[in-house]
Structure 1
Amino acid sequence: MNAELDEWLSHAKTPETRARIRRWARWARFGMVLVIVSVWLVALLVLSVIVIDIADIAFFDSVPWLGWVLLGVLVGLIVGAGGLILLADGRRIKAMYADGRVSVGVITQVTRVEPADPEMVGVSYDLTITATTPGTGEIRRVVNHSNALEIGQRIRFRHNTLDPENQYDALFVDAVAEQDGARQ
C-alpha cells in the first residue's frame, strides 16, 4: 500500500492535500488494525469459554452475563472499525483527487460488474469515458458507478494525469445535464 500511497502523494499539488491523503490513509489502516485485533479477541473469547466449559471452571456460573457483554463490545468494535474504514477510505479517495483536473466526457461503454461473492447484493457498473483535453487530445478513463448510465451521456469526472493510458485515474463527479453540456 505504501507504493500506491506514494504515487497518489506525488499527484497532490499542495501540502494540505498530501496531509489529508496521509491522514485518511492512517485512519483506514487504524480501522483495519482494530478489525483484526477485535476478530482475534472474539476468537480468543470463544476459545476461552469453550476451555472454561470443558474444565468446568465455575467463574462464568457466578457471572454468566460477562461473556455476552464482552462479545457484544467486541462485535460493536468490529462494526465501528468497519464503519471507520469505509469513512476513511471514501475521504482518502476524495482527497486523492482534490487537486485533479475536472473534465467532461462521453460514456462510450457500460460494463456490468457482478459482485465477487454471489451472496452479496449490489451490482456496479464500469463506465468507459472518452474526453478531449486541451493540449493532449483524447483520453479514456474508467469509473465505477452504482447506477448504469447510458452510452452517449456526458459526465463530469476528476483525474490527476493527462496520460491517455492511465485508464483508472478517474473519480466520478456527476452527470452533466444537457443545458450544462451546451455551455461547455
Structure 2
Amino acid sequence: MSDEIREWTALAKTAKTRARIRRWAYLSRVCLPVAVVGFVGTLLMIGVTIVYIASAVDHVVELWWAWSVALGIMIAGFGVWMLAGTNLIAARYADAWTSVGTVVDVVEIEDRDPEAGPVYEVTILAELSEANLRRVMPSNDALQLGQSIRFRHNTFEAENLDDVLFDGLVTDESTG
C-alpha cells in the first residue's frame, strides 16, 4: 500500500470507508497494467493480421477470436480503471466535511495542451469556527472572484491546499 493510500485511509472516519478506499485503489492499481496488456495485444494482432494478409494466407478470418480477446481485455481494463479512479475519489471524500468558501484568486494555467480548453487554478478561502481554510483546486470554468462555492475536505489544516473536492456552486436558492 502506498503512502498516499495510507494517508487517505488514516483520514477516513469509518472502517467501511477505509475498506472502500483500499478496494478502489487496488482495482485502479491492477486494472491499468491489464489494460496495457490488452493494448499491446491489440497492436500485436494488427501486426499478425498484416503478415497474414501480406503472405496471402486464406485463414485471416480465423483470427477473430484473438482480436476479440485482445480488444476485450483492453476495453475491460481501461473501463474498470476509469471506474475505479472515479470511485476512489468519491471514497476519499465519503466521510469529509462540507464547507462553503469564497473564491479569492483565479489563475489560468499556461502549461497545458493548447488544443484543450482553458484550465484555471482556483483558490478558495473558507472562514470556519474550527479554522480558516485555504484550498486550491483546478477548474475548467473561470469562477468569479467573490463567488461562493461548496467543497468537501477531510482536514481542518489551514494550508492543506490539495484537500479539496468541488461540491457545487452556492446560489441564492441553495443553502450552504
Please state which band the TM-score falls in when normalised by the shorter chain: 0.7 to 0.9
Shift of 1:10: 0.7
For 1:133, the aligned partner's letter is L
> Does the 8 A contact of 2:38 with 2:72 survive in 1?
no
Q: Which runs of 5+ in 1 are unaligned?
A: none
Partner residue, 1:127: 122
Distance 1:177 1:70 in 2: 54
Preserved contact between residue 49 and residue 60 of structure 2 (Cα < 8 Å): no
* Cα distance in 2, alignment partners of residues 149 and 176 from structure 1: 12
Q: Does 1:74 align with 2:70?
A: yes
**2 and 41 in structure 1: CA distance in 2 versus 1, 3 angstrom threshold:** same
Partner of 1:159: 153
Structure 1: which 4+ aligned runs deviate by more than 6 Å? none
Q: Does 1:32 align with 2:28?
A: no
TM-score norm. by structure 2 comes to: 0.84
CA deviation after TM superposition for structure 1 residue 86, in Å: 1.8
* Alpha-carbon offset, residue 123 of structure 1: 3.5
Contact 1:115 1:122 in 2 (8 A): no
C-alpha distance in 2 between matches for 1:19 and 1:6? 12
Distance 1:116 1:74 in 2: 32
Number of corresponding residues: 176
Task: Tell me the alpha carbon deviations over residues 38-62 of structure 1, each in whole angstroms, 9 at most, x when there is no partner.
Answer: 12223433444566678x4x7xx23
Letter in 1 for 2:5: L
Relative distance call for 1:53 and 1:83 in structure 2 (3 A) is same
Which residue in the other structure is 2:135 paired with? 141
Residue 18 of structure 1: how far off its partner (Å): 0.5
Counterpart Cα distance in 2 of 1:122 and 1:79 = 27
Alpha-carbon spacing, 1:109–1:68, altered in 2? closer, same or farther (3 Å): farther
Give RMSD over aligned pairs.
Answer: 2.6
Aligned to 2:18: 18
Q: Does 1:106 align with 2:99?
A: no
Q: Which amino acid aligns with 1:135?
A: E
| Residues 1-52 of structure 1 deviation map (CA, whole Å, 9 limit, x = unaligned) | 7111111111001000001111111221232022121122234334445666
